[in-house]
Amino acid sequence: MEFDLFLRYGPALLTGFGVTILCWLVGSFGGLVLGFVLACLYRYGPAPLRWVIYAYVEVIRGTPFMIQLFILYYGGPHFGLLLSPIQAGILSFIVYGSPYFSEIFRSGFNAVPHGQVEAARCVGLSEGRILRRIILPQMLVPITAPLTNFFIILTKETAILSVVTVPELLYETQTMAAETFTFVEPFLVLSLFYWLMVIGTSWVGAKAEARVTRHLRKA
Amino acid sequence: MNFSFDVIWHNLPYMLAAARWTLLISLGGMAISLVWGVFVCAARISSGAVLSRLAALYISFFRGVPLLVQLLLFYYMLPYVGLDLPAIAAAILAVGLCSAAYSAEILRGALQTIPRGQTEAADALGIPTFSLWRRILIPQAIRIGLPSLVNELILLVKVSSLASVVGIGELTRISQNITGETYRPLEIYVAAAVIYFLINLVISLLGRLAEKRLQVA
Amino acid sequence: MDETPKDQPIIRISGLCKYFDDFEALRDITLDVNRSEVLCLIGPSGSGKSTLLRCLNFLEAYDGGEVYLEGDLIGWRSAREAPRRPLSSEKLRRQRQHIGMVFQQFNLWPHMTALENVAEALMHVKGLSKSEATTKARAALAKVNLSDKEKNYPANLSGGQQQRVAIARAIAMEPSVMLFDEPTSALDPELVGEVLSVMKEMANEGMTMVVVTHEMGFAAHVADRVAFLEEGRLVACSPPSEIFGREPDDPRVRAFLKTYRERNVV
Ligand SMILES: Nc1ncnc2c1ncn2[C@@H]1O[C@H](COP(=O)(O)OP(=O)(O)OP(=O)(O)O)[C@@H](O)[C@H]1O
Ligand SMILES: [Mg+2]
């Protein structure tokens, strides 16, 4: 292994890692928020809106991320949406993740016993407050693990952004590989970076799970 | 903005032809995934500590590294180590080996729901381990895990689009090519999305049908 | 809400009907509950006891008839409209503040401590400050003899203690009526007593209570009147001495109570 390779390409790889993290974080949290909004609209909205959301969820889940990315990035200009690669990447990431998140939230809603909501109505709490104080904290218990899991899945989907020349980790790795005719070193580093992301996410997920299940521990 | 259905209509035959490659990659990948997944699963739950550790390592590697990276590694590395596979074979293999890690876990989960008594009964009858797996455990595990396996197949249809990156003329790649000629990315990619969606719709309907069939049996 | 004269019934139910699709769960129920009265609802499983109770605070929207609490029509804007329109959620919430409810399954909020369970609505419905709410919540917990458990989460309380917290949560709102739906049915036998004694105490202090129960002993000794439901109809409503007397007038009541008699509960 040649270490001066890393000296030369280290900064580029690190920047790539930074871009990966940026796209992943903004895209995932955007998807999370959009997914939550969709799940709420599905739960509280009128029937026609529910059909629209249902169709959205099925269509996005039934098509490859790469095609969604292409529609936004290459097709976008045709309906007046001119995006830089990173913008297109993040936006398509938000769109791509949202139906999965919304399904997770939907299952969370269903996991909260209805009796608790009724009890809250009986003492006169408003629906907004019930959502915030009773339903949300409770649904976090069953959904924290699947949320963590999906964040981990999304770490890997970021690699696809390299296809539209987002200068993320895989893109920089490929550049390095092509310029130096090496494979082992760059891809080893790349694996290490993804591994770090996965480990980090699992760690945060475990912490979050401990936090949201605090009240269930027997004293 | 004008959405031209003509462009789609003219290029539809090429896209449908390319969709056959998409199907080949995903179905071929699924076949490898199932067969190899059974072995990985067996190794994972075997009593041999080394074997089990190795299987766990396999699973965490293939689930931990982006499939696109695996695909590129396969494509570039195989010739490097002297294995000259056609690109399509490399793609199917990469997809299948990766998916096997997931299938193995699905099967493992399914096996856990099969009552231990069945294994003990087979042991008591003197049925050899191999037959036990082939005739009793695997058929049940596949039946129990069917919904997840159908999901996995749908996933494979979607990830087959990654093969476009190494130049295989499946649906995504052909769509890119057509876009290059027609300069109509919106129409072509939307059409591609519709084709992917329909394929997955059919798969999930077939899956549900199969589930019903197996339930009655 | 206007104060009705003391001798007027606090709850008036007249001609109450409730359907679940085509199924008639309640048919033409007419019944008054007087101030400070304890009314027990008994009857076979599926007879509509829970449904009747849940119509009183509009957890179930009744289809016909009227329910008045201190002269206020519950749930609907007007009884004469067709189709009826429900009250705004704001108004409905205001009505429900006067009606406390205790469930068979407690329905405590598991992510809040006993104290937080009681204080939540005091702060966010009554608008009390945190310290006022805490003081009131503590007083309510003291009433149900749980002062020492205020920091416990429901997971760390016994069933009987959870049910008492649920009672505290309801009474802290100072309702004019309390509804109980089989409050002791989910409890181990040795925990039933502590909940019933809290309820008895409330009755002695003059709380108006409507109690669905299978505890015939409680009905016989604490209730002012006992109402017997069967297949959605009110079959009898009389003082316990008549219902539980040697020979109740109604053959259906007699048949129902026979099983209890055989077990020597009454
Ligand atoms: N949400 C609902 N949808 C349809 N039917 C219902 C619903 N709730 C109750 N019912 C029906 O209404 C009837 C009365 O139910 P209810 O729960 O009031 O009975 P109950 O007297 O409380 O019985 P139990 O003693 O078992 O609690 C039953 O036949 C029940 O099946
Ligand atoms: Mg009931």
* pLDDT average, residue stretch A179-198: 85
Q: Would an 8 Å CB–CB cutoff place C86 in contact with chain A? A: no
Yes or no, beta carbons of A134 and C109 under 8 Å apart: yes
- Cα–Cα distance, B137 to C184 (Å, whole number): 47
* pLDDT average, residue stretch B180-201: 90
CATH class held by domain A3-213: mainly alpha
Select the more confidently predicted residue: B184 or C114.
C114
Tens-digit pLDDT profile for residues A173-188: 888 888 888 777 888 8
B166 with B91: CB under 8 angstroms?
Answer: yes
Q: Ligand 1: does its nearest atom lie under 6 Å from the Cβ of C25?
A: yes
The pLDDT, as a whole number, for residue C1 is 46
CA dihedral C248, C253, C255, C256 (to 10 degrees): -130
Tens-digit pLDDT profile for residues A105-127: 999 998 899 999 999 999 999 99
Q: How far A210 CA lies from chain C's nearest CA (Å)?
A: 13
The pLDDT, as a whole number, for residue C4 is 52
The pLDDT, as a whole number, for residue C5 is 58
- Cα–Cα distance, C170 to A119 (Å, whole number): 9
Ligand 1 pocket, mutate which of C20, C256, C259 (most atoms under 8 A from CB): C20
Biggest CA-to-CA distance, chain A: 70
Domain ranges of chain A: 3-213
The pLDDT, as a whole number, for residue C226 is 93
Read off the tokens for C152: 């416990």
Neighbours of chain B (3+ CB pairs under 8 A): A
Q: How far A163 CA lies from chain C's nearest CA (Å)?
A: 45
Q: Which of A216, A159, B162 is nearest to C152 (CA)?
A: A216
Q: Would an 8 Å CB–CB cutoff place C153 in contact with chain A? A: yes
The pLDDT, as a whole number, for residue C2 is 47
Yes or no, beta carbons of C89 and A127 under 8 Å apart: yes
* pLDDT average, residue stretch B209-216: 78
| ipTM here | 0.85
Q: How far B200 CA lies from chain A's nearest CA (Å)?
A: 6
Q: Ligand 1: does its nearest atom lie under 6 Å from the Cβ of C18?
A: no
Residues of A in contact with C173 (CB under 8 A): 123-124
- Ligand 2 centre from B164 Cα, in Å? 61
Tens-digit pLDDT profile for residues B88-139: 888 999 999 999 998 888 888 888 887 777 777 877 787 877 787 787 788 8
Query: Whose C-alpha lies nearest to ligand 1, atom 4?
Result: C20
Give me the domain span that covers residue B92: 5-216
Read off the tokens for B165: 């990156």
Q: Would an 8 Å CB–CB cutoff place A170 in contact with chain B? A: yes
CATH code of B150's domain: 1.10.3720.10
Least confident span in A136-140, A157-161, A211-215: A211-215
Question: pLDDT tens per residue, chain C (266 residues)?
Answer: 445 555 688 999 999 999 999 999 999 999 999 999 999 999 999 999 999 999 999 999 999 999 999 989 999 998 888 889 999 988 999 999 999 999 999 999 999 999 999 999 999 999 999 999 999 999 999 999 999 999 999 999 999 999 999 999 999 999 999 999 999 988 888 889 899 999 999 999 999 999 999 888 889 888 999 999 999 999 989 898 888 876 777 788 888 887 777 765 54
- How many domains does one find in chain B? 1
| Whether the predicted pLDDT of A84 surpasses 60 | yes
Yes or no, beta carbons of A74 and B64 under 8 Å apart: no
Neighbours of chain C (3+ CB pairs under 8 A): A
Burial of C14 (0-12, 13-18, 19+ CB in 10 A): middle
B26, B72, B174: which to substitute to probe chain A, counting the most A Cβ within 10 Å? B72
Q: How far C107 CA lies from chain A's nearest CA (Å)?
A: 5
Read off the tokens for A65: 């991320």
- Cα–Cα distance, B123 to A167 (Å, whole number): 58
Yes or no, beta carbons of B193 and A68 under 8 Å apart: yes
C165 with C138: CB under 8 angstroms?
Answer: no
